[in-house]
């Protein structure tokens, strides 16, 4: 039973706009193009070129040549620093792009195209600002606490003059004791045995600012992002024998692990509120998502989104939240309401079809308390919903108490087009209904939920 439930779950995939979604890195091509990479490539029995993922030098050289070959970026990090994988980090960038393009929350200035992001703990690799600037033309502030990280992040920015003016590296704040601890972990290794220095490092972390003391007066950003310290100790960080991504104690360890670190970002966000349109972070353990979402609800966020990042055998999760009120559709009584809205689901998972869309649609409305009648022969769901039911879907409790209560009836029909494509149509029985505006907003919400649940490359959940 347990295995069956696992098979029924939609499989997360690499982001469809990721450069490597259709064509993974070609190690043989890279080895023939870049002689420095060739010594790290070997061929397995099936004839496929591979590298030793436990060799830091191999993974670092792979990152270097990928950034140069596919992105035109010059890049390097010293021994012991955290070495990022380019495809995985690109997934995070494209997910943030999805959030910004979704217009779930409004832009403060719709005419302004410049996107500005903040990378918490940019590291010596400075990977997110480099990718965001080169791929999408975003401007960035990258923060960090150690001299080594700041120095090499600056070097990597200066090595790419075509985007160097788009990226600012900023010190987040580092106390003298932290610098002393960093020295004791010179060229930090995940196998350090110094309990005293580890304790000092943990105490230091509790004092370091994350966002509040790093932003300047009046600064605003479209988003922040973070690859947090995943582990509670250096011993825990060294438990995976299959990879060698390097990493200093500052990059890998935080008291309480990633949950505590992200919780501190949440606390800062509750103070900064709308200084950022979106606050986001990567999460290494899915079990932490539930408690983080609970904490976000406690501080009064207006929206929470999650996703799964998949690259090869590596899975990470993303969490995003905002304090900006979501966009509300305002329908004038003098404007004709679109009675039969529709949308197309493209890239539906192979194991899913029109019937799965129909069932998911029924569950979507039934979860709000609305009355649903499923007609399998006609592939439609007839829904009768009160204003309270619609507001519950839109998470707009305040509006439930405005004006008349009322109710509305409508039908959602599902049509299989070609394999992987399903058309969803809505039909409002009375277009002059007082709830026609809410109906259209709920239909938009249904589109978002179905795409997140059933379409390849879309694994975010509200």
- The answer for residues whose C-beta is within 8 angstroms of residue 324's C-beta and 6 or more apart is 105, 106, 274, 277, 302
Please indicate if the annotation marks 107 as binding a ligand.
no
- The answer for residues whose C-beta is within 8 angstroms of residue 208's C-beta and 6 or more apart is 145, 172, 173, 174, 175, 178
**Rounded distance between C-alpha atoms, residue 125 and residue 59, angstroms:** 13
Count of Cβ atoms closer than 10 Å to residue 302 Cβ: 15
Count of Cβ atoms closer than 10 Å to residue 196 Cβ: 9
- Model confidence, pTM: 0.64
**Rounded distance between C-alpha atoms, residue 125 and residue 121, angstroms:** 10
CA 146 to chain centre: 26
Please indicate if the annotation marks 432 as binding a ligand.
no
What is the DSSP annotation of 18-30?
A: STTSSS---HHHH
Please indicate if the annotation marks 121 as binding a ligand.
yes
* Backbone angles phi and psi of 141, in degrees to 5: -115, 125
| Torsion region of 347: left, alpha or beta (phi above 0 gives left; psi -120 to 50 gives alpha) | left
**Rounded distance between C-alpha atoms, residue 168 and residue 173, angstroms:** 15
CB 212 within 8 Å of CB 268: yes
CB 96 within 8 Å of CB 321: no
Kindly list the structural domains of the chain, giving each domain's residue range(s) and its CATH number in brackets, ordered by start. 90-322 (3.40.50.150), 342-454 (3.30.310.220)
- pLDDT, one tens digit for every residue, the chain (462 residues): 444 444 444 445 688 899 998 889 999 999 999 999 999 999 999 999 999 999 999 999 999 999 999 999 999 999 989 899 999 899 999 999 999 988 788 877 655 568 999 999 999 999 999 999 999 999 999 999 899 999 999 999 999 999 999 999 999 865 434 444 444 433 344 344 445 455 555 455 554 558 998 999 999 999 999 999 854 544 544 444 444 455 555 545 466 788 889 999 999 999 999 999 999 999 988 889 989 999 999 999 999 999 988 766 667 889 999 999 988 644 333 334 456 788 888 778 877 888 899 999 999 999 999 999 998 877 899 999 998 898 888 876 555 545 556 788 999 998 876 667 788 888 887 755 667 778 888 988 898 899 888 887 654 443
List the 380-386 sheet strands across, edge first: 342-346, 421-428, 407-416, 380-386, 371-375
Look-up of token digits 């009322």 = 406
CA 189 to chain centre: 28
Please indicate if the annotation marks 144 as binding a ligand.
yes
């Amino acid at each position: 039973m347990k295995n069956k439930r696992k098979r029924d779950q939609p499989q997360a995939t690499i982001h469809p706009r990721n450069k490597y979604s259709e064509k993974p890195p070609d190690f043989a091509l890279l080895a023939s193009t870049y002689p420095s990479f060739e010594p790290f490539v070997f061929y397995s029995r099936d004839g496929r070129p591979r590298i030793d993922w436990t060799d830091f030098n191999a993974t670092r050289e792979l990152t270097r040549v990928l950034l140069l070959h596919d992105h035109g970026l010059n890049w390097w990090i010293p021994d012991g620093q955290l070495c990022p994988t380019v495809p995985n980090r690109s997934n995070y960038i494209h997910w943030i792009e999805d959030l910004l393009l979704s217009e779930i929350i409004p832009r403060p200035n719709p005419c302004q195209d410049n996107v500005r992001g903040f990378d918490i703990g940019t590291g010596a690799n400075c990977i997110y600002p480099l990718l965001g600037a080169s791929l999408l033309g975003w401007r960035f502030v990258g923060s960090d606490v150690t001299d080594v990280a700041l120095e090499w992040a600056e070097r990597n920015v200066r090595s790419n003059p075509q985007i160097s003016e788009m990226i600012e590296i900023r010190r987040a704040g580092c106390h003298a004791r932290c610098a002393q601890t960093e020295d004791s972990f010179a060229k930090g290794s995940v196998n350090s045995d110094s309990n005293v220095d580890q304790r000092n490092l943990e105490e230091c972390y509790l004092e370091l600012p994350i966002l509040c003391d790093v932003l300047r007066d009046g600064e605003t950003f479209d988003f922040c992002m973070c690859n947090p310290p995943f582990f509670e100790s250096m011993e825990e960080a060294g438990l995976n024998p299959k990879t060698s991504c390097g990493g200093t104690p500052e990059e890998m360890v935080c008291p309480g692990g990633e949950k505590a670190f992200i919780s501190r970002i949440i606390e800062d966000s509750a103070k900064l509120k709308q200084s950022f349109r979106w606050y986001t972070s990567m999460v290494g353990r899915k079990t932490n998502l539930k408690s983080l979402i609970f904490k976000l609800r406690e501080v009064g966020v207006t929206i929470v989104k999650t996703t799964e990042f998949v690259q090869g055998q590596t899975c990470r999760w993303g969490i995003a939240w905002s304090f900006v009120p979501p966009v509300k559709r305002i329908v004038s009584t003098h404007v004709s309401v679109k009675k039969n809205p529709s949308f197309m689901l493209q890239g539906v998972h192979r194991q899913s079809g029109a019937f799965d869309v129909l069932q998911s649609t029924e569950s979507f409305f039934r979860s709000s308390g609305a009355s649903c009648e499923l007609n399998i022969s006609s592939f439609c769901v007839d829904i009768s919903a009160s204003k309270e039911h619609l507001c519950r879907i839109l998470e707009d409790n305040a509006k439930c108490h405005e004006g008349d209560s009322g109710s509305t009836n409508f039908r959602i029909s599902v049509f299989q087009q070609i394999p992987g494509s399903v058309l969803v149509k809505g039909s409002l029985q009375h277009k002059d209904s007082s709830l026609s505006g809410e109906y259209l907003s709920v239909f938009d919400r249904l589109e978002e939920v179905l795409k997140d649940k059933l379409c390849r490359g879309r694994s975010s959940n509200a």
